[in-house]
């Protein structure tokens, strides 16, 4: 019954590395989102995509990029990882832009050392 | 942009108790979401509502648009209800594909 799958639960990377976080959904949703979640700050939107090859910046896009070559896959890229990007990363997809029928992945806890 | 406040931040209760978590927001919305996050990270969408009340099993969500307030109730609480409950609102203006503003969450622990 898997709906949104993130490629890793836990990742440890070194400062300066290029990091790829992958997200795949099997519901044919057009809208996909990447969030980061930090204690005391809640969920913050990094990037979203409403169609293949389309992307829009969220609230905190600095230091990140995304790729959506296929409808079911949305990748988050940390171009040069830094320690302040240590966080929980959550991918989500939804049927429409109102976040209806939204499903989240299980999260990736990234530690940058 | 909306400001979303949840209360309480932390709540510990005994099994069987009736639980209420509150969410207030500052500007008009088109929809409000309640999400549940279990230890380990995964988030599940519980409700999306724009008016009135919705019920699913032991969970009830209500919203008062005039007062800009929503509540999530859990009846006959159980230890498996222990989780972080997150309120998120979508502004009437909509914004981009995701005009959602999230609360910081309520950490609920139900003790046996």
How does pLDDT run across A26-76, given as a tens digit for each residue?
A: 999 999 999 999 988 889 999 999 999 899 999 899 999 999 999 999 999
| β-strand partners of A12 | A111
Choice between B42 and B109, residue whose per-residue pLDDT is larger: B109
pLDDT of residue B28: 87
The structure tokens listed for B45 are: 């969408």
C-beta separation of A86 from A39 below 8 A: no
- Mutate which: B40, B98, B103, vs A, most A CBs within 10 A: B98
The minimum CA-CA distance between A107 and chain B, rounded to whole Å, is 6
Name the most confidently modeled range: A77-86, B40-49, B85-94.
A77-86
Question: Does residue A31 have a cis bond before it (omega within 30 degrees)?
Answer: no
In chain B, DSSP finds a helix count (H) and a strand count (E) of 0, 11
Please state, in angstroms and rounded to a whole number, the distance separating the CA atoms of residues A98 and B41.
23
Pairwise CB contact (< 8 Å): A103 & B42: no
C-beta separation of A91 from A32 below 8 A: yes
Please state, in angstroms and rounded to a whole number, the distance separating the CA atoms of residues B35 and B8.
15
pLDDT of residue A18: 97
| β-strand partners of B14 | B111
Pairwise CB contact (< 8 Å): B102 & A42: yes
How does pLDDT run across B45-64, given as a tens digit for each residue?
A: 999 999 999 999 999 999 99
Q: Which residues of B touch A100 (CB under 8 A)?
A: 31, 48
């Amino acid at each position: 019954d898997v709906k949104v799958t993130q490629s890793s639960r836990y990742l440890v990377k070194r400062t300066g590395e290029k990091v790829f976080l992958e997200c795949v959904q099997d519901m044919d949703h057009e809208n996909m989102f990447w969030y980061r979640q930090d204690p005391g700050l809640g969920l913050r939107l990094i990037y979203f995509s409403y169609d293949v090859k389309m992307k829009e910046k969220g609230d905190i896009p600095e230091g990140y990029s995304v790729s959506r070559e296929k409808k079911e896959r949305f990748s988050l890229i940390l171009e040069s990882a830094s320690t302040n990007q240590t966080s929980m990363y959550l991918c989500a997809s939804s049927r429409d832009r109102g976040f209806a029928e939204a499903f989240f992945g299980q999260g990736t806890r990234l530690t940058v050392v | 942009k909306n400001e979303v406040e949840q209360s309480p931040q932390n709540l510990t209760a005994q099994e069987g108790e009736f639980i209420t978590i509150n969410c207030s927001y500052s500007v008009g919305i088109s929809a409000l979401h309640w999400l549940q996050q279990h230890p380990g990270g995964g988030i599940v969408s519980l409700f999306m509502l724009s008016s009135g009340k919705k019920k699913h099993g032991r969970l009830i969500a209500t919203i008062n648009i005039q007062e800009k307030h929503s509540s999530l109730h859990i009846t006959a609480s159980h230890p498996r209800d222990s989780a972080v409950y997150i309120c998120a609102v979508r502004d009437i203006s909509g914004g981009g594909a995701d005009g959602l503003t999230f609360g910081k969450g309520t950490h609920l622990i139900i003790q046996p």
